Amino acid sequence: MSARDDILGSIRKSLGRGPLTGEPAAQLHQRLAQPQRNLIPDRTAGRDTEGLTAQFADKSREVACTVDEVDSLDAVPEAVRAYLSRENLPARVVQAPALAQGPDGGLDWSKTPTLEVKTGTSDGSEDTSVTPVFAAVAETGTLMLTSDTATPTGLNFLPENHIAVVRRSQVVGPLEDAWGRFRAARAKAGGAGPEDGFVMPRTVNLITGPSRTGDIEQKIQMGAHGPRRLHVIIVAD
């Protein structure tokens, strides 16, 4: 008997039944096909985009992010330059390919000539990365990033500093709203919508503040292995 059959058999023996079939199995399939939300905390309820954005910014600061707000995507390069200069960081960034392409031709770095900008993933030698996010969760100040050709995961972890560009329209209340958008955006080609299934990227990263550890005498230290600083630029469009 294979280990698989043995383990499943042992589970069923302990539960006092055979494999699930018929109606009980159909109900479970249904539970997976149309995931229901459980209890959701009230703290984000009734807020409009502006309210959620303010809450997201507050929550981000609570978890030791720094936050900037700019009027448009055009203002992002200058905000990046100003941040690096303020923090006394080298004027070099690596940006996600998604920011170089973008729907509007990508970020225009021509007005920040002092900045050295490269595009791609990280080999661990870069000081600062600039990435987009998939969504931003106001409930806890959490960023949702998904891996893709144009959004490699290395940028989220390897550089010393991570700058995340969040568009206001990407801010949602609870985590479940982010999953809702995620399912819709990643619905299988040819399907009628998320209920026909969706494609998981290799990685989804939920990131809440910069890297830290409390492993030495319970004293919190930032920058354990991931970025020491997480700077969020919120774009008002």
Partner 1 sequence: MQSTSKQFKDNAHHALNDATLQRALLNVKTGFQEKRAQVVAGLPEFEALRDTGRDIKNHVLANLDFYLERFEENVTANGGHVHWCRTPAEAREKILEICKRREAKTVTKGKSMVAEEIGLNEYLEENGVEPIETDLGEYIIQLRHEPPSHIIAPAIHVTREQIAEDFRREHTDLDPNRRLEEPRDFTDEARAKLRDRYFAADVGITGANFLIAETGSTVIVTNEGNGDMTQLLGKAHVVIASLEKIVPTLEDASTILRLLARSATGQEMSVYTSFSTGPRRSEDMDGPEEFHVVLLDNGRSAMLGTEFQDMLRCIRCAACMNHCPVYAAVGGHAYGWVYPGPMGSVLTPSLIGVEEAGHLPNASTFCGRCESVCPMRIPLPKMMRHYRQREHEKGLNPQKARAGLALWSYFATRPGLYRLATRIASGLLGRLGKVNGRFTSLPLASGWTSVRDLPAPEGRTFHDLYRERQAKGGRA
Residues 40-69 that bind partner 1 (CB under 8 A): 41-43, 59, 63
Restricting to residues 70-109, which ones interact with partner 1 according to CB under 8 A?
Answer: 97
Amino acid identity for residue 235 in this structure: V
Q: Which two tokens stand for residue 225?
A: 């292995």
CA distances to 5, 99, 168, 181 from 164, in Å: 47, 11, 12, 19
Partners of 175 in beta bridges: none
Restricting to residues 180-199, which ones interact with partner 1 according to CB under 8 A?
Answer: none
Among 55, 173, 209, 232, indicate the residue that binds partner 1 (CB under 8 A): 209
Task: Collect all residues with Cβ–Cβ distance below 8 Å to 155 and sequence separation of at least 6.
Answer: 94, 96, 121, 122, 129, 131, 162
Restricting to residues 104-163, which ones interact with partner 1 according to CB under 8 A?
Answer: 120-121, 124, 140-142, 147-149, 152-154, 156-158
Query: Using the rule CB under 8 A, is 3 a contact of partner 1?
Result: yes
Residue 217's Cβ-count burial label (10 Å; 0-12, 13-18, 19+) is exposed
| Shortest distance in whole angstroms from residue 236 CB to partner 1 | 25
**14 or 88: whose CB is closer to partner 1?**
14
**74 or 147: whose CB is closer to partner 1?**
147
| Shortest distance in whole angstroms from residue 48 CB to partner 1 | 22
